[in-house]
């Protein structure tokens, strides 16, 4: 087990809709944002209970769209515990200016939300040339780009990886692979092939652990192949709290149990060191 746990995928929601108006991408508020809101103060308490040292708060796109004010305010309130991941409309002409604005507000990573609980279809705009200015800006500023996508969009991602070879990319939820076919996991082969791009990193979340362990075969052999293919220094853990109906402590305990088959060094990378590499503010 890691000496300290760093979480790179929790979300915060405020009850103050006047200060933080809700404007979800796709026009639909996610159920979890409505039913299980977690404020920054509540997140700190949950982290303390679960043994999570620091977190990179991820913009709740299905609640706040492109207004990252709550994440920025949380990072300002708890600079020793939080970093932040923001979203902007990368197809807009002012996308580079918006990226610089939110980095100036203390946030450290751009996130592209192309599919999710309220937007189940894969959006087609990922490799739209209008997004290239945003990618160029992120590459120049050396900030990671989190991409929430399904594996079916891998050809679009490859276009971007070829065009922006220095961009630091993090695939949310391992790009939601299908591991139901079992070893050698041919359905997930496009994910494994991305290991050829050294700038691609993977975000393992509780969603992956549950989806593979409960819905698509045993977690251990599949994730063993993921670790052997990418290496633990390119994989980081995220809770996805509070999108599922479970406490952060339960999610941490479930994740530690699922990862117990890995060596101590592999766990240290996945639960802390890779996160600190991607988000230097979280290295304490």
Cβ(169)–Cβ(144) under 8 Å?
A: yes
Q: pLDDT at residue 96 above 60? A: yes
Q: What is the pLDDT of residue 114?
A: 86
**Nearest CA to 147 among 162, 116, 169, 119?**
169
pLDDT value of residue 93: 98
Report CA-CA distances (Å) from 99 to 9, 87, 134, 203: 19, 8, 8, 22
Measured between alpha carbons, how far is 222 from 189 in angstroms, rounded to an integer?
A: 12
Instruction: Identify the burial level of 180 via C-beta atoms within 10 angstroms of its C-beta, where 0-12 means exposed, 13-18 middle and 19 or more buried.
Output: middle
Distance of alpha carbon 109 from the chain centroid: 10
Between the alpha carbon of residue 159 and those of residues 88, 100, 153, 186, 210, the distances in Å are 20, 24, 10, 22, 30
Question: At the topology level of CATH, where does 5-282 sit?
Answer: TIM Barrel (3.20.20)
Crossing angle for the helix pair 132-141 and 154-163, to the nearest 10 degrees = 60
pLDDT for residue 2: 73
Q: pTM of the prediction?
A: 0.95
Band the pLDDT of 211: cuts 50, 70, 90.
confident
Asked if the model's pLDDT at residue 215 lies above 70, the reply is: no
The 3 state secondary structure assigned to the chain is CCCCEEECCCCCCCCCCCCCCCCCHHHCCCHHHHHCCCCHHHHHHHHHHHCEEEEEEECCHHHHCCCCHHHHHHHHHCCCCEEEEEECCCCCCCHHHHHHHHHHCCCCEEEEECCECCECCCCCCCCCHHHHHHHHHHHHHCCCEEEECCHHHHHHHHHHHHHCCCCCEEEHHHHCCCCCCCCCCHHHHHHHHHHHCCCEEEEEEHHHHHHHHHHCCCHHHHHHHHHHHHCHHHEEEECCCCCCCCCHHHHHHHHHHHHCCCCHHHHHHHHHHHHHHHCHHHCC
Q: What is the pLDDT of residues 168-196, one digit of tens each?
A: 999 999 998 888 888 899 999 999 999 99
The ranges assigned to domains in the chain are 5-282
- Note the pLDDT of residue 237: 98
139-159: pLDDT as tens digits: 999 999 999 999 989 999 999
Q: Is the pLDDT reported for residue 247 higher than 70?
A: yes
């Amino acid at each position: 087990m890691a000496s300290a746990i760093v979480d790179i995928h929790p979300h915060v929601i405020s009850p103050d809709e006047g200060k933080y108006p809700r404007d979800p991408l796709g026009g639909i508020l996610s159920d979890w944002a409505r039913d299980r809101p977690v404020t920054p103060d509540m997140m700190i308490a949950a982290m303390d209970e679960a043994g999570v040292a620091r977190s990179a708060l991820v913009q709740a796109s299905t609640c706040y769209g492109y207004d990252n004010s709550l994440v920025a305010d949380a990072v300002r309130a708890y600079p020793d515990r939080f970093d932040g991941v923001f979203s902007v409309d990368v197809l807009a002409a002012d996308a580079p200016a918006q990226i610089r604005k939110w980095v100036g507000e203390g946030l450290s990573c751009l996130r592209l939300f192309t599919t999710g609980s309220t937007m189940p279809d894969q959006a087609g705009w990922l490799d739209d040339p209008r997004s290239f200015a945003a990618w160029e800006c992120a590459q120049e500023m050396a900030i990671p780009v989190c991409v929430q996508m399904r594996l079916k969009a891998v050809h679009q991602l490859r276009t971007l990886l070829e065009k922006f070879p220095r961009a630091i990319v993090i695939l949310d939820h391992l790009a939601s692979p299908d591991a139901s076919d079992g070893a050698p996991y041919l359905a997930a082969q496009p994910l494994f092939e991305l290991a050829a791009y050294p700038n691609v990193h993977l975000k393992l979340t509780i969603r992956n652990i549950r989806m593979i362990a409960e819905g698509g075969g045993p977690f251990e052999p599949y994730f063993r192949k993921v670790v052997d293919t990418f290496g633990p220094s390119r994989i980081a853990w995220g809770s996805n709290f509070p999108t599922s109906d479970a406490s952060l402590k339960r999610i941490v305990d479930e994740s530690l149990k699922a990862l117990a088959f890995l060596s101590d060094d592999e766990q240290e990378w996945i639960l802390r060191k890779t996160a600190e590499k991607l988000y230097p503010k979280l290295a304490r």
